[in-house]
Structure 1
Amino acid sequence: MKWHHVQENWSAFFDAILDKWPDADETELEEIDGDQRAFIAYVAELTGQEPSDAREEIRDWLSGELPSDVVMDPRHDDHSIRLSGKYLPEGEDEYDDDSRFGDDGAGR
């Protein structure tokens, strides 16, 4: 995952951040508000590391998958739906009912 995933869905990442850094404080995370430099400094302070080591630890953490609570977060989902609009034919709305394409119970 990339930092912009974290930044755009900052509060949805709190559980994943707390899993990785259990001593992190949710109030302080809210103040950081997705600012990468502030988060690096915070992790460095939290873990007693140099900022370069904290940056590397965060980079390793980012190499993982998007946490499921982020993927399921309504803001992330809505953002993905809006982005999908560029793949639709002109005149089709990305928010249209797609029941004719999925398993809508037909044929049962």
Structure 2
Amino acid sequence: MKWHHVQANWSAFYEAIIDKWPEADDSDLDEIDGDQRAFVAYLVEATGQEPEEIREELREWLTGEIPSDVVMDPVHDNHSIALSSKFVGEGEDEYSDDARFGDDGDDRDDT
């Protein structure tokens, strides 16, 4: 993941941040509000580590997964739908209503 994912969804990352850096505190994270430099400075102060150590830990942490509540946020729906287009047959529209698919609202027996 990239830092802009973290910054755009800052509060959704609190749990993952505190898992990685137990010294972190929700109220302090609120004040940082996704600012990467402020976050590094905060971790240096909170952990007593050197800035380069924190930057390396942060690089490693960013290789992890994006929390599911960020991925599942409705603001990402259109992007997810567009990505699903590779599974939609030719001539179909990935944004079309799929109510006709399967047995949605159809009680008749097709056997």
RMSD: 3.0
Alignment partner, residue 25 of structure 2: 25
Q: Which runs of 5+ in 2 are unaligned?
A: 86-93
Alignment partner, residue 42 of structure 2: 42
* AA matched with 2:97: D
Alignment partner, residue 91 of structure 1: none
Partner Cα separation in structure 1 for residue 9 and residue 100 of structure 2: 29
Secondary structure of the residue that 1:64 maps to in structure 2? Answer: coil
* Superposition TM-score, scaled by structure 2 size: 0.70
Partner Cα separation in structure 1 for residue 2 and residue 100 of structure 2: 31
Partner deviation per Cα, 1:49-80 (whole Å, 9 max, x = no partner): 111110110110001111223223x3xx31x2
- State the number of aligned residues: 98
Q: Which runs of 5+ in 1 are unaligned?
A: 89-93
Secondary structure of the residue that 1:11 maps to in structure 2? Answer: helix
Percent sequence identity over aligned pairs: 57
* Superposition TM-score, scaled by structure 1 size: 0.72
Partner Cα separation in structure 2 for residue 34 and residue 28 of structure 1: 11
